[in-house]
C-alpha cells in the first residue's frame, strides 16, 4: 500500500509505503537539498528487558544493556564491518539506542543507493561469535566508564531511580560492566530474532532522493519473514515515587539539579494532545519569558542552563526540570509554589498565545534540515501517528485544552529531586 501525505501550509510532503515484509517506509523528497538522511529502526530499546514471542511459554529476562550491545555488534559481519563498506561510499554512518528504540542511520550527499543497500543488508544479517562478543565487552566497558563520569547522565538516572520502583526506564541504557559480562552470542541472537523482525521495524528517509527509488531497493532487499508478535512483560509501577531526594558527588563546578514530576499513566502511551499541551505548559511555566524564570534568575538561583522537558515512552512519563544552582532545594520550593499559584490563578492567556506561536515556529523549523525531518518522521512512525499530526494539533489546540491538561500534571506529591555536586 502506497500513499502520499501533503501539507500545503508547510510546503512539505511525505510518501508512505507499507511494505509486504511488514516494514513501514516513509520518504520525504527534498530535491532542493544536496544530502539525504536515512534511518532503519526497530522498536527495541533498553526498557525491553523481559519479553517473549507469543508462541513461547515463558518470559525471558535478558541482561541490562543488551539492546545497546546488539546495536554495536550488528555492524559486524563475517567479511568485515559495515563501516568499511560505507568507507567506499563516503557516507557518514552511525547508530544509537535509546530507552525504546534502536536506530541505524547514515547521511550522504552522493551514492545514496549504495549506502542504502548497505544499511538494509547489514541490519538484516547478524553475525555474532563468542570471540567478537568478548572484544566488544572491552569497548562498551570503556563507554560505561565514560557515562560514570558524566554528571548530566548520572543526574538523570539517579532521578529516574528516585521516581520509578520497577519500570526498566531507570536502568542505564548501556547497562553495567557486570550485566554486559553476562551477554553471549546466543542471547544476542534471541533478542535479534524477536525484535529485528521486519514487522517491528520502520525506515525513514528524507532529502535528495526519489521515493520510488527507495521503495524499489526495499522491494529488492527486504526479506519476507513470518510476523512475530512480541509480548513485553507487564511492569507494575506504583503511582508513588521511591524517594523524594537523591544526591551524588562528582567533580562539577556548580551543583546540578533535576526535578522530576512522575505522571500516573492509565494507558502506556501519550496522545498528541497530551504531548502538545504539556509542551505549551512547560513553555508558559518555565520558559525564559515566564515570571518563574525571572524570579529564579533575579535571585541568582539559576543560570542559562535551566530547562524543562516532557520525558515519556512506553509505560512511563515525567516532566523533568533541570539546571544548575547553589541552592537546588530552594529552586525546588519556589517551583512548587509557582505551580500552586498558577493552579489558583489560572494560566496567563497571553502567555499561552505566545507559547503556542513559539511551539508552532519550532515545528516548522524542523523541516529546515533533512536530519530533523527524519527524526520527526521516526517519532511519528514510532507512535503510529501521521507525519504532520503534531504540527496540525499545535495550530488547533485551545486554551481550555491546556488548562484541562494542567490539572493532571506537575503534582508535588509525585515529585523528586536529584542533585550532583562536588564533595
Partner 1 sequence: MDQFKKVDLASGVEGFSICTDRFKTSRISVNMFVPLRKETVSANALLSCLLTRATRKYPTYTHLNAKLDELYGAALYGDVAKVGDMQMLKFVIAVLDDKYTLNGEVISGDATELLLSMIFDPLLNDEGLFDEKDFESEKRLLVERIKGEINEKRIYAIKRTEGEMCKNEPYGLPKYGTLEDAQALTNADVVNALKYAVDNAFIRVNVISESYPEAVFQSVSEFFKDKKRTVTQKDITKKHIPNDELIQISEKMDVTQAKLCMGFSADFNDDLQSRINARVTADLFGGGPYSRLFKTVREEQSLCYYCAARINLKKRILMVDSGILEENKEKAYNGILEQLSVLQQGKFDESELLASKMALMDSAKTVCDTPAELDGWYTAYALYDTAVTTDEFVEKINNVTKQDVIDIANSIKLDTVYFLGSENFEKGE
Q: Which of 12, 71, 237, 338 is catalytic?
A: 71
Q: Does the annotation mark 71 as catalytic?
A: yes
Contact call for residue 139 and partner 1 (CB under 8 A) = yes
Of 266, 279, 316, 311, which Cα lies nearest the Cα of 393? 279
Task: Please identify, using beta-carbon distances, which residue of 125 and 249 lies nearer to partner 1.
Answer: 249
Residue window 11-50: x/- pattern of binding to partner 1, with contact defined by CB under 8 A: ---------------------xxxx---------------
CA distances from 303 to 36, 155, 310, 330 (A): 37, 17, 20, 14
Contact call for residue 83 and partner 1 (CB under 8 A) = yes
List the grid coordinates of 248.
551524588
Task: Please identify, using beta-carbon distances, which residue of 10 and 242 lies nearer to partner 1.
Answer: 10
CA distance 216 to 211: 9
User: Total residues contacting partner 1 (rule CB under 8 A)?
Assistant: 68
Residue window 361-400: x/- pattern of binding to partner 1, with contact defined by CB under 8 A: xx-xx-xxxx------------------------x-----
Task: Please identify, using beta-carbon distances, which residue of 49 and 115 lies nearer to partner 1.
Answer: 115
Residues 324-343 close enough to bind partner 1 by CB under 8 A: 324
Report the nearest approach of partner 1 to the CB of residue 59 (Å): 33
Judged by CB under 8 A, the residue of 91, 95, 235, 419 near partner 1 is: 91
Contact call for residue 250 and partner 1 (CB under 8 A) = yes
Judged by CB under 8 A, the residue of 113, 358, 389, 401 near partner 1 is: 358
Residues 161-200 close enough to bind partner 1 by CB under 8 A: none
- Positions annotated as catalytic residues are 71
Residues in contact with partner 1 by the rule CB under 8 A = 9-10, 32-35, 83-84, 86-93, 107-110, 135, 138-139, 142-143, 145-146, 148-149, 151, 207, 249-254, 283, 287-291, 293-294, 297-298, 300, 303-304, 324, 351, 354-355, 357-362, 364-365, 367-370, 395, 423
Amino acid at each position: 500500500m502506497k500513499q502520499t501525505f501533503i501539507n500545503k501550509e508547510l510546503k512539505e510532503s511525505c510518501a508512505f509505503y507499507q511494505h509486504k515484509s511488514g516494514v513501514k517506509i516513509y520518504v520525504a523528497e527534498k530535491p532542493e537539498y544536496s544530502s539525504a538522511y536515512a534511518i532503519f529502526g526497530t522498536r527495541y530499546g533498553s526498557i525491553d528487558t523481559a519479553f517473549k514471542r507469543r508462541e513461547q511459554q515463558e518470559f525471558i529476562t535478558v541482561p541490562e544493556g543488551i539492546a545497546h550491545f546488539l546495536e554495536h555488534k550488528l555492524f559486524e559481519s563475517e567479511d568485515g564491518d559495515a563501516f568499511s563498506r560505507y568507507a567506499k561510499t563516503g557516507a557518514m554512518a552511525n547508530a544509537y539506542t535509546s530507552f525504546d528504540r534502536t536506530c541505524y542511520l547514515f547521511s550522504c550527499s552522493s551514492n545514496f543507493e549504495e549506502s542504502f543497500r548497505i544499511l538494509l543488508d547489514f541490519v538484516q544479517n547478524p553475525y555474532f561469535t563468542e570471540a567478537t562478543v568478548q572484544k566488544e565487552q572491552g569497548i562498551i566497558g570503556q563507554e560505561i566508564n565514560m557515562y560514570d563520569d558524566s554528571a548530566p547522565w548520572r543526574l538523570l538516572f539517579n532521578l529516574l531511580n528516585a521516581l520509578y520502583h520497577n519500570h526498566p526506564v531507570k536502568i542505564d541504557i548501556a547497562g553495567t560492566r557486570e550485566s554486559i559480562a553476562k551477554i553471549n552470542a546466543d542471547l544476542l541472537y534471541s533478542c535479534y530474532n524477536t525484535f529485528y523482525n521486519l514487522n517491528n521495524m520502520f525506515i525513514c528517509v528524507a532529502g535528495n532522493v526519489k521515493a520510488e527509488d527507495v521503495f524499489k531497493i526495499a522491494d529488492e532487499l527486504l526479506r519476507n519473514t513470518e510476523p512475530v508478535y512480541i509480548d513485553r512483560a507487564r511492569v507494575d509501577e506504583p503511582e508513588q515515587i521511591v524517594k523524594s531526594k537523591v544526591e551524588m558527588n562528582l567533580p562539577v563546578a556548580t551543583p546540578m539539579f533535576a526535578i522530576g514530576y512522575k505522571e500516573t499513566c492509565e494507558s502506556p502511551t501519550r496522545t498528541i494532545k497530551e504531548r502538545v499541551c504539556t509542551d505549551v505548559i512547560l513553555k508558559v511555566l518555565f520558559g525564559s519569558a515566564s515570571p518563574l524564570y525571572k524570579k529564579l534568575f533575579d535571585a541568582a538561583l539559576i543560570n542559562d542552563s535551566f530547562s524543562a522537558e516532557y520525558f515519556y515512552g512506553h509505560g512511563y512519563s515525567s516532566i523533568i526540570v533541570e539546571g544548575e544552582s547553589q541552592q537546588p532545594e530552594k529552586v525546588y520550593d519556589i517551583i512548587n509554589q509557582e505551580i500552586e499559584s498558577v493552579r489558583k490563578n489560572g494560566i496567563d492567556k497571553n502567555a499561552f498565545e505566545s507559547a503556542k506561536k513559539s511551539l508552532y515556529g519550532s515545528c516548522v523549523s524542523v523541516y529546515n534540515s533533512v536530519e530533523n525531518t527524519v527524526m520527526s518522521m521516526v517519532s511519528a512512525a514510532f507512535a503510529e501517528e501521521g507525519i504532520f499530526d503534531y504540527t496540525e494539533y499545535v495550530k488547533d489546540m485551545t486554551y481550555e485544552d491546556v488548562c484541562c491538561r494542567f490539572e493532571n500534571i506537575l503534582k508535588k506529591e509525585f515529585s523528586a529531586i536529584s542533585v550532583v555536586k562536588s564533595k
